[in-house]
Amino acid sequence: MSAISDPHVHSSFYRFVALAEPERIAQRLRELTTKLGGNILVAPEGISAAVAGLAEDLAAFELALQQDEVFGGAFAGICFKHSACATRPFTLIKVHTKPEIVAFGVPGVSGLPDAARPDSHVSPQQWRELIRQPDVLLLDNRNSFEFRLGRFKGAVDPQVAHFRDFPAYVAGHADKWKAQGKRIAMYCTGGIRCEKTSAWMQEQGLTVYQLDGGIVSYFEAMQARGDDAAADWEGECFVFDKRIAIDTQLQETATTAEQVYAGLPDEAWRLARAKRLDPAS
């Protein structure tokens, strides 16, 4: 990890929106992010990103993302989730085009908005009340190594190693949940995985809710109103950059990647990949 003297800000965001020319958008993003580090994915179904830089450089990029004519207003009003950094989160900037911004593994499933479906989003302010209802099953939509590091209290770990394994877990439990009259409250780090999953789960006949903006938005909302997210959360929250983990106050912890993956031989590739794709500065 590389400590920094100038304060950097981390920004994560996504939007499911139909994009006709992903590569043209990606090229413009490369031109706009020369002063930042991070990872940006662009696909026909939208954009997903985690970037960081000096506050003024990040602000200039976020303004351009919403106003640049190449994007045609596709990203106007997008929600940015910010956190301060004691460690430079990224050394490099990577902008890729892919078939999906998050790979779900079920053909035909998209996170694009559909007005015909019930809105499954629950605000951070409503989340606490929802997850305490006796007929609600609280489901973690992340990988098991993330769950082990920290989770909402009482949450169920699907014990998956990859997001694409999640549909099989749901399919194997859906009938039981319906027979028990369970409503499903689901969460992930930033909300994007739940966006992809929720519509498909509704198609399986489940009543499902998703934490709008994910864990990070929940921490932000509780902090803003002077509440303590630790009343609902235990442990830390894994983040996919060099900070490794943050606490409920959005502060970087002392946890290292080696500690996260210790004793997990099946996860050693994640550590090797992270060091290969974004080496220390």
CA-wise closest residue to 200 among 122, 111, 119, 269: 111
Instruction: Establish whether 85 is a catalytic residue.
Output: no
- Assign residue 242 a region: left if phi > 0, alpha if psi is -120 to 50, beta otherwise? alpha
CA atoms 206, 110, 97, 66: torsion sign: negative
CA-wise closest residue to 25 among 122, 97, 109: 97
Rg from Cα positions in the chain: 19
CA-wise closest residue to 182 among 204, 214, 211, 213: 204
Alpha helices (runs of H) in the chain, residue ranges in sequence order: 22-32, 55-67, 124-131, 144-149, 166-179, 192-203, 214-224, 257-261, 268-277
Q: How far apart are CA 187 and CA 258, in angstroms?
A: 25
Among 85, 188, 194, 237, the one annotated catalytic = 188
Count how many Cα atoms sit within 13 Å of the Cα of residue 193 in the half-sphere of its side chain: 19
Q: How far apart are CA 38 and CA 91, in angstroms?
A: 7
Q: 29-50: b or e for each residue (b if 16 or more CB lie within 10 Å)?
A: beebbeebbbbbbbbbbbbbbb
Q: What are the catalytic residues? A: 188
